[in-house]
Structure 1
Amino acid sequence: MNIKVKKRNFLKKKKVKELKKDLGQYSDILADSKNVEILEAEPYSFILVDGEPYIIIIDDKPFPTLKAALANEINGKTVVVDMGAIRFVSNGADIMSPGIVEADSDIEEGDIVLIVDETHKKPLAIGVSLITGDEMVENDSGKAIETKHYVGDSIWNFEV
């Protein structure tokens, strides 16, 4: 997928404040930023924080990118997958309950979650939970998370 840039503008403080609210627990990404810009592009728009694509807008909802997660050590709602699931996750597959080893118990349906590997706790993907964190661990079948962004996709490889 090619990302085609349309325009780039700085965000006003009021818009940054709204964005922080929409990001919820991931708003730390914008904490000490000096320059916050919107990069309107096809198929997804990005929020650049000091020139880096730290936030992506998917379906009018902001998601932190994996680059932001790596650079800022995000401590949001986390789901840990076993080592056997890594191959599938890094190819963009949705996360299935059997591959989940651990999940924060405060995860609710519709929450933005960070998917990390079991051994190194490195971010592999970001997605939207389809069930609660407790259900993710308890269930032995079914889809638990819809993947929105993963290591190696066009968002990961995007550079400004």
Structure 2
Amino acid sequence: MFKKPVTGPQKSKLKSSAQRAVRAKFLEQFPLLEPYIDDILPKKSQLELIKLQDHISLYALDNKVLFCQHRDDALIPHLKIVHAYPQCFKRISVDRGAIRFVLAGAQLMCPGLTSPGAWLPPTEEEILEGTVVAVYAEGKENACMVGILKMKTEDIKKINAGAAMELGHYLGDGLWKYVVD
């Protein structure tokens, strides 16, 4: 989603009612962030909406991007939020061989999640299609990517072919390097 540098943004300040709606949607998606929401998105703060090409919206506070959204899809938190509150996000892990492809902007493929060294949650903790997940790399402490799963984790294990994730934000991409003016 952010392979190219982010350029030519159109910024606007959100009204307080729109801010409350965004805050509520964010908490609905990530209920484990509730204890930290006032640190991430204080009630009295001024949230900015930055519209980019390809129907991508960024939400920024104090010149820092908090999360992004493509059209009306799920809100995807910036990796810096995932790094600050890792316990609040569903997680999966890729094997060492997939790391360089993920960091080059390639789609996350099922074999990178099912080979030795990768990790998917057990059946009783299945993650459903359309869920935002943090992607960790084998042997690494912080997430290297965050995005939306294209299929549930059980299907990833069974099918083991094709793309497993869409719309990702990864370390070193245009969003990671983006500085709000």
Relative to the length of structure 2, the TM-score reads 0.75
Match of 1:9 in 2: 13
Structure-2 separation of matches of 1:30 and 1:11? 18
* Aligned-residue RMSD, C-alpha: 2.3
1:128 to 2:128 alignment: no
1:83 to 2:96 alignment: yes
Moved more, 136-145 or 92-101: 136-145
Deviation of the 1:19 alpha carbon? 1.8
**Aligned mate of 1:37, from 29, 38, 47:** 47
Report Cα offsets for 1:132-151 as digits up to 9, x if no partner. Answer: 12222344322211242111
Report Cα offsets for 1:41-90 as digits up to 9, x if no partner. Answer: 32232112343101112123321111221233352111111111000001
**Which is bigger in relative contact order (C-alpha 8 A, separation at least 6)?**
2
Q: Give the secondary structure class of the aligned counterpart of 2:67.
A: strand
Matches within 5 A, 1:6-155: 6-12=10-16, 14-23=17-26, 24-25=29-30, 28=33, 30-32=37-39, 33-34=41-42, 35-43=45-53, 44-61=56-73, 62-73=75-86, 75-100=88-113, 101-104=118-121, 105-155=125-175
Check conservation: 1:128, 1:145, Cα contact below 8 A: yes
Residue type matched to 1:96 in 2? M
Q: Give the secondary structure class of the aligned counterpart of 1:88.
A: helix
The verdict on how the C-alpha distance between 1:5 and 1:143 changes in structure 2, with shifts beyond 3 A counting, is closer
Give the aligned length.
159
Q: Give the secondary structure class of the aligned counterpart of 1:155.
A: helix
Check conservation: 1:3, 1:41, Cα contact below 8 A: no
Structure-2 separation of matches of 1:151 and 1:26? 24
Relative to the length of structure 1, the TM-score reads 0.84
Residue type matched to 1:25 in 2? F
Q: Give the secondary structure class of the aligned counterpart of 2:81.
A: helix
The verdict on how the C-alpha distance between 1:149 and 1:17 changes in structure 2, with shifts beyond 3 A counting, is same
**When you count strand as a share of all residues, which structure comes out higher?**
1
Deviation of the 1:159 alpha carbon? 0.8
Check conservation: 1:79, 1:103, Cα contact below 8 A: yes
* Unaligned segments of structure 2, at least 5 residues: none
Task: Return the index of the structure with the highest Cα Rg.
Answer: 2
Report Cα offsets for 1:98-132 as digits up to 9, x if no partner. Answer: 11122233311111111111212421112211111
